[in-house]
């Protein structure tokens, strides 16, 4: 298939581009590089042995979007492009609603105009909100605690409504749990701008000496050791999940939703320990107050993705911490010309 990947220069998008190419798909990348570096494309060229087809532009620019669809034959779209920082979304909700919601609406309108009705969307475990019992299962009610989370809840709703209104759409919402890790080559990985919000990039920046120590947000949760438990999934497994979702879209119309996680949670202290043991690097840390809005434990029920997509994770926690560190230590300054 010829797949348009919005946000294809980003963390998950870049790994998915390679997975698509490995599975004999043709890829077109659309990105405005608002949260990614143009050198990612050089790395993708190097790793794939192909020259990427890239459209640099914004989903908010409808004439740009029209132009892409006018020029290209597209069979399906994987839609990663959006903003993803919870804290920033609380400070600047309009920026988030505009980019994530309006950007998606523009994309859907253009897809509809060109009769391309095959879409995979990046949703998030954040849509399970704070009140569902564990493990999180797809039919549970969705909710959010911040504007970023609401954009995911709302887009899932929009996509469901669209599929109900027109039964020729094939849409898959993928709810990612906590993606970490990087490509085995160490050539592409996660590159947060500024101080990382998420745990793994913070740990790798401590390991490489950019930051002195990690702040562990609370050790009084009702979990194995009091620290927060999450379902970390290797980005390579996640990327493969998108290839399977595209296949599912070909087989089945309508709106579908799947968790992509391992089904197992591990704590902050367990992740630090795994990182130290695997990589032989010390991670100094200090326990501080809980982070506002955090919940103790989050993990997926992966049964539906396993049964309906044939999705199973292959990468272990050791793989995740090793590959995250391999990426960080090979690229201490992010993407540079080398």
The residues assigned a catalytic role are 148
Which region among 24-32, 115-123, 134-142, 287-295 touches ligand UD1 (by CB under 6 A)? Answer: 287-295
Query: Nearer to ligand UD1 by C-beta: 159 or 199?
Result: 199
Is residue 148 within 8 A of residue 86, CB to CB? The reply is yes
Our finding on whether 159 is near ligand UD1 (CB under 6 A) is no
Helix runs in the chain, H state only: 11-22, 39-48, 62-71, 86-91, 93-96, 103-113, 147-165, 199-207, 235-251, 268-279, 303-304, 317-330
Separation CA 15–CA 21 (nearest Å): 10
Our finding on whether 293 is near ligand UD1 (CB under 6 A) is yes
Our finding on whether 193 is near ligand UD1 (CB under 6 A) is no
Q: Which does 119 bind (CB under 5 to 8 A by kind): ligand NAD, ligand UD1, none?
A: none
Based on its alpha-carbon atoms, the radius of gyration of the chain, rounded to whole angstroms, reads 19
Q: Which does 7 bind (CB under 5 to 8 A by kind): ligand UD1, ligand NAD, none?
A: ligand NAD
Tell me the β-bridge partners of 229.
267, 297
Residue from 55, 69, 80, 327 that binds ligand NAD (CB under 6 A)?
A: 80
Query: Nearer to ligand UD1 by C-beta: 4 or 188?
Result: 188
Q: Which does 82 bind (CB under 5 to 8 A by kind): ligand NAD, ligand UD1, none?
A: ligand NAD
Give the 3-state secondary structure of residue 6: strand
Helix runs in 35-137, H state only: 39-48, 62-71, 86-91, 93-96, 103-113
**Contacts for 263 with CB less than 8 Å, ≥ 6 apart:** 135, 231, 299, 300, 301, 302
Q: Which residue has the tokens 């390579």?
A: 236
Which region among 20-28, 29-37, 270-278, 291-299 touches ligand NAD (by CB under 6 A)? Answer: 29-37
Separation CA 159–CA 245 (nearest Å): 15
Our finding on whether 228 is near ligand UD1 (CB under 6 A) is yes
CB of 100 to ligand NAD, least distance (A): 7
Residues lying near ligand UD1 in the complex (CB under 6 A): 84, 86, 124, 126, 149, 178, 197-199, 202, 214-217, 228, 230, 268, 291, 293-294, 298
Residues lying near ligand NAD in the complex (CB under 6 A): 7, 9-13, 31-36, 58-60, 80-82, 84, 99, 103, 122, 124, 176, 179
């Amino acid at each position: 298939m010829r797949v348009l990947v919005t946000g294809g220069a980003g963390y998950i998008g870049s790994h998915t581009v390679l997975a698509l190419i490995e599975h004999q798909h043709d890829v077109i990348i659309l990105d405005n590089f608002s949260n990614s570096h143009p050198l990612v494309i050089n790395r993708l060229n190097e790793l794939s042995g192909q020259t990427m087809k890239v459209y640099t532009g914004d989903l908010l620019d409808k004439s740009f979007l029209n132009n892409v669809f006018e020029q290209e034959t597209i069979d399906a779209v994987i839609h990663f492009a959006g903003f993803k920082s919870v804290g920033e979304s609380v400070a600047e909700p309009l920026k988030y609603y505009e980019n994530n919601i309006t950007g998606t609406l523009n994309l859907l309108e253009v897809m509809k105009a060109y009769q391309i009705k095959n879409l995979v969307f990046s949703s998030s475990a954040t849509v399970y909100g704070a009140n569902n019992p564990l493990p999180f299962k797809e039919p549970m009610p969705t909710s959010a605690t911040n504007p970023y989370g609401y954009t995911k809840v709302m887009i899932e709703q929009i996509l469901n409504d669209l599929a109900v209104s027109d039964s020729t759409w094939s849409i898959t919402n993928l709810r990612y749990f906590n993606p970490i890790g990087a490509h085995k080559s160490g050539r592409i990985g996660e590159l947060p701008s500024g101080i990382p919000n998420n745990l793994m990039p913070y740990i790798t920046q401590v390991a490489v000496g950019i930051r002195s120590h990690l702040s562990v947000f609370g050790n009084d949760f009702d979990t194995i050791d009091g620290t927060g438990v999450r379902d970390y999934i290797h980005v390579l497994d996640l990327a493969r999940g998108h290839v399977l979702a595209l296949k599912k879209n070909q087989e089945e119309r309508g709106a579908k939703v799947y968790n992509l996680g391992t089904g197992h949670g591990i704590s902050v202290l367990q992740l630090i320990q795994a990182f130290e043991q695997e990589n032989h690097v010390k991670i100094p840390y200090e326990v501080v107050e809980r982070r506002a809005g955090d919940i103790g434990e989050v993990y997926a029920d992966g049964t539906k993705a396993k049964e309906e997509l044939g999705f199973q994770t292959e990468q272990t926690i050791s793989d995740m911490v090793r590959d995250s560190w391999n990426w960080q230590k090979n690229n201490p300054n992010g993407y540079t010309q080398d």
